[in-house]
Chains A and B, each alone.
Chain A
Amino acid sequence: MARKLPRKDVVIIGLGWTGSIMAYELADAGLDVIAIERGPWRNTATDYPPGYAADELRYRIRHELFLSPSQTTFTFRNKMSEAALPIRSWGAFMPPNGVGGGGVHWNAETWRFLPSDFMLKTHLTERYGASFLPEDMTIQDWGVTYDELEPHYDRFEYLCGTSGQAGNIKGTIMDGGNPFEGPRSRAYPNPPQDQPFGHTLFGKAARDLGYKPFPQPSGNMSRPYQNPLGVRLGPCTYCGFCEWFGCGNYSKASPQTTILPALVRKPNFTARDNSEVTRINVDGSGKRTTGVTFVDASGDEWEQPADLVVLSAYTIFNVQLLLLSGIGKAYDPAANTGVIGRNFTHQTISDVVSFFDPAKFVFNPFIASGAIGMCIDEFNGDNFDHGPHGFVGGGYMGHVQTNGRPIETTPVPPGTPLWGAAWKKAVKENYQSAIKPGTGVHGSMYSYRDVYVDLDPTYKDRFNRPLARITMDFHDNEIKQNKFLTDKFAEIFQAMGAKQVHKEYRKGPYDITKYQTTHLCGGAIMGTDPNTSALNRYLQSWDVPNLFVMGASAFPQNAGYNPTGTVAALAYWAADAILSKYLKNPGQLINA
């Protein structure tokens, strides 16, 4: 029997980026806020100090910062006809765990989506006609526009101290920035990071080919920065240990380096770590949550009553918790009814590995940061005419070589033996003169009727709750998109003077064992119609109005960018709606 704790105004489930943003915004407005986090509290100096933060074996290979599959996992299958099996070692994506969430171990690639991305269904239908889209594609408009989100993107970039070059300030196209981006209200808070040799060459080659390359917007600091909350970050040292790692020297934007120091000073904020929410409680009407039930590290069960619940865990666990709590109708792909679990997506990424003459090219790949690099956006979203190509979607592509770490950075030309003396010789010869971008082609993945999350009929977690089950495969549209983009990407490396260019196309079936990105999206999507979305345009549950659900689980489909910028902008947008609309008149904000 759960013991009942004193009521709070707000309970936040998961203290990552969105949980931290919501906690700060709501506590700052005077609400009594508690955040409940499944994993441990983490601080820079005590949990990933420079003395061992750069331990590739510990963090990259052995996954120290991530959720342990023995704590909870999910099952996977490619097709609805298959039996799903539980994942026992993470592969395609890395479920975060602990305070700071994925914000601790991300690369800090901080993008905005294109204005047309938010109106995707309308935009593509108007331009190409409904018949151009695959029949089983279930893309939707978001219900929110780029212009509405712009101030919130801006807040996140200034929170993080994003280093970048604006491409469009209030409609004026800026030299050296991304000319395709939506208009921004002002420049980035910090100039772009310095670009190493290889990245600079890529930029030059792209320019020679007629593209407009620009430095990737980066949450790694190009200079010291103090954000609007008074929290300071130090300059990046280009050590190349961002993704999979915590930053030891306060130079990567994370909840720890941007929000938490200010948040923990608020007396009306409390956090409980190592405590897992097992259920969002709903009253007899089914229309109102009364708080959450969680289990602490001792295995004791507690009920935390609250007037408002913010669900801000990782994508798949947001969806699982909604399904387990019976909130919203579960998606049924056969009947095409229900909303929780639908429009589940990931990312369509691929890479090109290039080999240059070691006598002429020394790239020093270890001089890097998670978001360093030169990118082009000509083939993203609907920045180009898809008519002749027979697919929709796209992505940015860039030479974003995030590291030269010793265990993984062993690019060798195709045909080299996989081990032994010849392999060692090839590694030695190519380490300094090969390019294998950490982020290469970063393509969109659109949504389909048979790609979704539901509850597994067989496998249970440690609380005897069904695991989430992922059913996911690549569709022809994404395979075609990726071939087109990868070929374009390879041309740039050819132009740089590579002697050999090896394209690693993304092909089906979707492989859950190999890392792609951690950008799982959808499953509890926002939209304008309660029949096809779980949340309204303010991320408020259509079914339970005192529940707001953050994160990329709200994306109706995934665009060709890293999602964090948009995830955070949506959190600020939702916080603003709660403070300016919901609190004045708690209830459903949209009459649908």
Chain B
Amino acid sequence: MRSVAKLALATFTLAAGVSGAMSAGLQDFAAVERGRYLTNAADCGSCHTVPGSDRPFSGGRPIETPFGVLVAPNITPDRETGIGAWTDEELEAALRKGVRRDGKWLYPAMPFPYFARMTQEDVKDIRAYLSTVEPVHNPVPVNQLPFPLNQRVAMTVWDRLYFTPGEFMVQSDKSEQWNRGAYLVEGPGHCGACHTPKTFLGGDKSDKRLQGYTLQGWVAPDITSGQGPLAEWSADDLAQYLKTGHNRFAAAAGLMGEVVELSTSKLSEDDVKAMAVYLKNQSGPKPAADSSADSHVLAAGGAIYQDLCSSCHKSDGSGVPDLIPNLAKAATVNMGDPTTVLRVVLQGAQSVATDKEPTGPAMPAFGWQLNDAQVAAVATYVRNHWGKAPPVSEDQAKKERAQLDTRTN
């Protein structure tokens, strides 16, 4: 890191001398490369590109929030519909302060409370990279929230409640690796944007950092390492998961599959390890063991499991390392909220394929052959037989099925 920082400083000085306001100019190869890396680390492409589109960063992807749908804007260098006409300062204000070029406030679907932790240099490097992508003329009607949420002025109150400005502060009593991990997790990686529980206003519950949240139809599990579902994961397991999408316990699918594909798989081995070391150092609560599952439901669920699931996940739920998730140890299975288990049983799931793990195994859908009671039984079994996550009711299965019927993503 140190040598990179020095290099950044050198290029900063050089570029400033040449182009004034444009600190890291277009011609600055090193800044552009760092910017590309940071753009991946911040996963900008995920929200700002319509999946499958060949026009990266041109916006238009609907982002589902608890309050309604926001559409990610165009961040290509197009001067009219993108950010081409923005100054570096204007972009920095958006990224790190949540303030738009027109002075209005951004909604926190844009994770500026996290990006605020980034250094000024990193933001400039991201700008340098975004300046090199192909400009796309694509006007995006961003705000589709209902009144009064469509009034951006409401964000002033929100910011006061939930936004703490200020760059990441190095903790001198921790290792360089820990600090690098903390920077990536709390800054560009914005892990808490999904994994930290939210208040009714959508702000982070700061006393429950990284302890899991459900959004966009998926559970973002507790990723603290205290007594939660990741308790048995080593830092290496976690790093491998971030880098490859797979490890001996779990496989990334859904939103996390996208995060791995577009972001963490593109980070260096050192950086994912640093993130893992930091996350392993975050303590969390021990979930209460639930013994309320009905023995008949467990028996039925076990029978369905042996018939339909055991050929891949094995009779004991242990799966196959790096191929088929270990149901006893996979974080999303053993969370209090069964949303992901129900979704995957009903709909199936495509795990992510990466350069390191190109297989991308998929789980088939079972919604067509299991009724709600059967789905609830098998979900209860996989959650409660090996671990002690709460049972799942037929009504929950029914609601999830109805939810999925209305989903387009």
Contacts and interface: CB of A to CB of B under 8 A. Distances in A.
B363 interface: yes
Nearest to B322: A232
Nearest to A49: B364
Contacts of A226: 322
A192 to B, nearest CB: 19
Contacts of B324: 234, 249-250
A234 B323 contact: yes
B358 A44 contact: no
B361 interface: yes
A235 B361 contact: no
Contact of B366 (A43, A51, A232, A248): A51
Contacts of B226: none
Contact of B364 (A51, A229, A231, A239): A51
Contacts of B151: none
B311 interface: yes
Contacts of A51: 308, 364, 366, 369
A393 to B, nearest CB: 40
Contacts of B356: 230
A122 to B, nearest CB: 44
Interface in A223-279: 224, 226, 229-235, 237, 239, 248-250, 261-262, 265
Given A45-B363, A46-B364, A224-B320, A248 B311 contact: yes
B348 interface: yes
A358 interface: no
Given A50-B308, A248-B311, A224 B361 contact: no
A64 B378 CA distance: 30
Chain A: interface residue count, which band? 20 to 34
B255 interface: no
Interface residues of B, number: 25
User: SS class of chain A's interface: helix, strand, loop or mixed?
Assistant: loop
A520 B320 CA distance: 37
B323 A232 contact: yes
Contacts of B350: 45
A250 B348 contact: no
A261 B320 contact: no
B312 interface: yes
A261 B353 contact: yes
A51 B320 CA distance: 19
Contacts of A50: 308, 311-312, 364
B360 A261 contact: yes
Interface in A49-89: 49-52
A250 B361 contact: yes
B357 interface: yes
Most-contacted residue by chain B among A44, A229, A232, A248 (CB, 10 A): A232
A45 B362 contact: yes
A231 B362 contact: no
Nearest to B366: A51
Contacts of A224: 320-321, 323
Interface string A414-451: 00000000000000000000000000000000000000
B364 A261 contact: no
Contacts of A233: 323
B68 to A, nearest CB: 33
Given A230-B356, A232-B323, A234-B320, A46 B362 contact: yes
B348 A45 contact: yes
Nearest to B312: A249
A54 to B, nearest CB: 9
A262 B320 CA distance: 20
A235 B320 contact: yes
A45 B369 CA distance: 15
B311 A44 contact: no
Given A45-B364, A224-B321, A230 B311 contact: no
A261 B359 CA distance: 5
B100 to A, nearest CB: 36
B260 to A, nearest CB: 14
Contact of A45 (B353, B355, B361): B361
A159 B323 CA distance: 17
Nearest to B364: A49
A262 B358 contact: yes
Contact of B358 (A43, A46, A52, A230): A230
A106 to B, nearest CB: 19
Given A51-B308, A234-B324, A44 B353 contact: no
A229 B360 CA distance: 13
A498 B311 CA distance: 33
A170 B364 CA distance: 44
A231 B312 CA distance: 16
Given A250-B324, A261-B353, 9 more contacts: A44-B362, A45-B362, A46-B362, A224-B320, A230-B358, A230-B359, A233-B323, A234-B324, A248-B311
27 contacts: A43-B362, A45-B348, A45-B350, A45-B361, A46-B364, A50-B308, A50-B311, A50-B312, A50-B364, A51-B364, A51-B366, A224-B320, A224-B323, A230-B359, A231-B359, A232-B322, A232-B323, A232-B359, A235-B320, A239-B311, A248-B311, A248-B312, A249-B311, A250-B312, A250-B359, A261-B353, A261-B358
